[in-house]
Structure 1
Amino acid sequence: MADGGGILVSKALVLGLTAAGLMTAGIVTAPEAQAQISLFSDKHYGEWLQGVTLQGQIEGGIMANPARPDNGMNFGDYFADHANQVQLNQVTFTLSKAIDPGKPDYQIGFTLEAMYGSDARYYHLLGISNRMTSNRYQLIPAQAHVDVHLPWMTKNGLDIQAGILQAPMGVETLDPTTRPFYTLAYTSQYSVPFENLGAIFHWHIVPMFDFTFGVDTGNQTTFGRNDNNNAAAGYVGFNINGLAGGKLNIVELSRIGPEDAVRSIGRRANTAQRYWNDLIATYTVNDRLSVTGEVNFLHDVGLRAETYSFVSFLAYKLSPTLTFNYRGEIYRDNSGLFVDTFLTNQAYMNAILDIYAPTETAPPTTYGEMTLGVTWHPDLGGGVRVFELRPEIRFDRSLNGTSPFNDRRNTGMFTFGGDAVFGF
């Protein structure tokens, strides 16, 4: 079984979609930190401790499925996998010190984030948290990295993150406030990585162009027996910022390295490369409307498998507190080895090591998906950083006649529901 993929360019969406976070690729910047609780603002603590902040967030939701599948699962949906059941998806606490890539001096910061909930099942690192519990609600270190800004080579210098990192590829991220919907696109679940142990570098060459590169142990693996093969992997890509009068931003990121398990395909897993490629373009039409397109292609040499897809997003601000969101996707899994649903709480991580993992799979399928929803995000004040209610309806369908949904009974699936997010 192929290991799944996930999501992270932090703060990739504002009103559902904006490119500001795509340019920072996960580094918390000073303006964001101002909205958080400052723990050491007094000069008594020294300059380094100033700006250390704490924030918390909780998310829960439900996706109803009128077809009531016998196994109780919404096929192809990780975060809302249990049909007709309310889930506590995330409780997170984040301690961080921001760095500001725009300042031409040496800086050091950090991010420590703990997460508890059902989403954690899919974001473990092998050997760190995947064996804590077999319950639906699990605990992970979602982030634990040091952030450094070095004023080297160019005016805006080099940013480094090292440690436990949420993978920087893709539009939709683990943080629900950075994406427009409760559920995720197929691309965001199966064709981008989720979590890495390693380092990533963002070199700000000129204001319009950033270069990204990095190295890690593999998607959701660590070292020794907790790596499914003996090879490293890494990223390379670029950002083009502020095109079309500042309205257009483009992010390209590729990842290269073996990701298959030796248990599955033998020693050639150490050299059989997986090539992940993701291109995102975000265009801000005006103060109300923004659109994003994502093109993704994945090729796995060891599995002799490919996926390719296109995802479109639209966000329209109906009022200062209400945003309409649209997502449309065509996704091709040409081998049937990527799109799946895991039937037990530890099955996803077991599949990465290719040990027993009860799974519902599908034959090679071209998937079509459309999701419509609104985000109500009033400013409550009083220390409430964020409050969102996000109802959505979703239509999934096989476009080539297969029947992957509702225990393989149907060519299509209709779900509706949403989530609520509260943060301080």
Structure 2
Amino acid sequence: MALNRKKAAWLLLLSMTALCHAPAAHAAVSLFAPAPGASGFEQWWRGITFAGHIDGGITANPARPANGINFGNFIGDHANQAQLNQVDFSLIRPLDPDARGYSFGFTLEANYGSDSRYYHLLGISDRAFNARYQIIPAQAHVDAHLPWFTKLGVEMHAGILQAPMGPEAFDPGARPFYTFSYTGEYSVPFEHVGMMATIHITPMIDVLTGIDTGNQTTFGRSDNNAEPAGYAGINLNNLAHGKLTITELSRFGPEDSRYILGSQQANGAMRFWNDLVAACHVTDKLTLTGEFNYLHDNGLRADAESVVTYLSWNFARNLTFNYRGEIYRDNTGQLVTSFLSDEAYMRGVAGTPAPAESAPPTTYGAMTLGITWRKPLTEKVGYFAIRPEIRFDRSLNGTTPFNDGRNTGMFTFGGDMMIGF
């Protein structure tokens, strides 16, 4: 395991001392007992909580591809091999959800495991380790609720931020399946250094905006080009008597590497990401979600469009059935790529040579079915969950991208186990 001391020092500094954003969707333990009558600052620091989770899983492939890779998968990329996906620890001071004046908080999140290979930031953690299990500062940002612009104010987050686009989160407890959709891997960004803001116009309408250095890049030579990127969007809350939420989020800015296009073209070639998500809570036990995504990259002359549908049905105590169906069109074959070494993905982000396999222009169809059994560890804190799933992937236009380019389809099964605290 090779460790670059300078990068490791940066990683340790950011993981231990940076301040951060919204908490992950898992259990949290208050570090300090409540103190009635304490001063404002004492009450603030007594609101700091600690949370974490451990997640491990496997994606089995009966076809046993010779290169050992399940094509089109990041999280479950190694066929028939169990993986420690995440060991995650968070230190959080959440914002007051009912604040009308000023409120300040932070989130610090460090993550170790095989998933971290795909969520690095260039120049911070991408060269700290070269093994399958790596470490990242998953979040590190200061947060503030500010009584500005509108009566409801604005929430601002600045630092290392997880990308807000799409319904599938890095935290395994906040998404329905162990594996990701094609859209969640290839058509939404993962991680940023920058600032994001939510402006609460009315209880129903939020305006979303932000600026950052780019997807999984930082500053100077650790940015694959010299230009920033940003977000703009809108969130519609509590529609249909509180059952429906709609989020439209667009992202724009250069994302391609100077090493591929040259500095002038990389700085001017725009990438446009557009994602629309609608979630309807039909009943307390049944939720339907739909996602439409369109991506266009001027530099690569590539684009992709996709539709993803989800169903979540809590049909019994502690048991939830999940369905996901997707059609994803990669119009040039440049987006859907599997990376064949532990450092290859981030080399691809940087624009340097990386071992990978891709496919010709393909329309992918995928269906995933799963059951989640989730049980609290105690009345207030922690959980244990098991999520078996089966998945069917297929090329809908006759190409053979799967199992070392041998098959038009791929069948996988497996899942993961989680402990949250």
Shift of 1:380: 2.6
SS at match of 2:183: helix
Contact 2:22 2:106 (C-alpha < 8 Å) held by counterparts: no
Shift of 1:382: 6.5
Match status 1:289 vs 2:286 = yes
Match status 1:373 vs 2:365 = no
In the alignment, the residues of structure 2 paired with residue 40 and residue 356 of structure 1 have an alpha-carbon distance, to the nearest angstrom, of: 49
Contact 1:323 1:374 (C-alpha < 8 Å) held by counterparts: yes
Match of 1:197 in 2: 193
In the alignment, the residues of structure 2 paired with residue 28 and residue 203 of structure 1 have an alpha-carbon distance, to the nearest angstrom, of: 19
Structure 1 residues 214-223 or 261-270, which shifts more?
261-270
Match of 1:36 in 2: 28
Q: 1:154 to 1:101 in 2, by over 3 A?
A: farther
Give the TM-score taking structure 2 as reference length.
0.92
Q: Which amino acid aligns with 1:27?
A: A
Match of 1:22 in 2: none
> Which among 76, 82, 89 is matched to residue 78 of structure 2?
82
Q: Deviations over 1:151-194 (max 9, x none)?
A: 12322210000000000000101001111100000000000000
In the alignment, the residues of structure 2 paired with residue 394 and residue 384 of structure 1 have an alpha-carbon distance, to the nearest angstrom, of: 32
SS at match of 1:377: strand
In the alignment, the residues of structure 2 paired with residue 36 and residue 405 of structure 1 have an alpha-carbon distance, to the nearest angstrom, of: 41
Match status 1:49 vs 2:45 = yes
Identical-pair percentage: 60
Q: Which amino acid aligns with 1:140?
A: I
Contact 1:36 1:55 (C-alpha < 8 Å) held by counterparts: yes
In the alignment, the residues of structure 2 paired with residue 334 and residue 312 of structure 1 have an alpha-carbon distance, to the nearest angstrom, of: 21
> Which among 18, 27, 48 is matched to residue 22 of structure 2?
27
Shift of 1:48: 2.2
Equivalent pairs counted in the alignment come to: 396
Q: Deviations over 1:61-106 (max 9, x none)?
A: 0010000000000000000000000000000000010102432120
Shift of 1:42: 4.1
Contact 1:28 1:99 (C-alpha < 8 Å) held by counterparts: no
> Which among 180, 183, 188 is matched to residue 187 of structure 1?
183
Q: Where does the alignment leave 5 or more consecutive residues of structure 1 unmatched?
A: 1-25
Q: Which amino acid aligns with 2:22?
A: I
Match of 1:386 in 2: 383
Q: Which amino acid aligns with 1:399?
A: L
Q: Describe how 1:343-382 pairs up with structure 2 within 5 A.
A: 343-381=340-378
SS at match of 2:402: coil
Q: Post-superposition, which runs of at least 4 consecutive aligned residues in structure 1 deviate over 6 A? A: none
SS at match of 2:201: strand
Structure 1 residues 208-217 or 102-111, which shifts more?
102-111
Match status 1:333 vs 2:325 = no
Match of 2:169 in 1: 173
Give the aligned CA root-mean-square deviation in angstroms: 1.4
Q: Where does the alignment leave 5 or more consecutive residues of structure 2 unmatched?
A: 1-20
SS at match of 2:214: coil
SS at match of 2:375: coil
Q: Describe how 1:225-264 pairs up with structure 2 within 5 A.
A: 225-264=221-260
Q: Deviations over 1:369-397 (max 9, x none)?
A: 00000000122317651211000000000
> Which among 300, 319, 337 is matched to residue 322 of structure 1?
319
Give the TM-score taking structure 1 as reference length.
0.91
In the alignment, the residues of structure 2 paired with residue 288 and residue 226 of structure 1 have an alpha-carbon distance, to the nearest angstrom, of: 46
* Bigger relative CO (Cα 8 Å, ≥ 6 apart): 1
Q: 1:384 to 1:101 in 2, by over 3 A?
A: closer
Contact 2:364 2:393 (C-alpha < 8 Å) held by counterparts: yes
> Which among 276, 279, 283 is matched to residue 279 of structure 1?
276
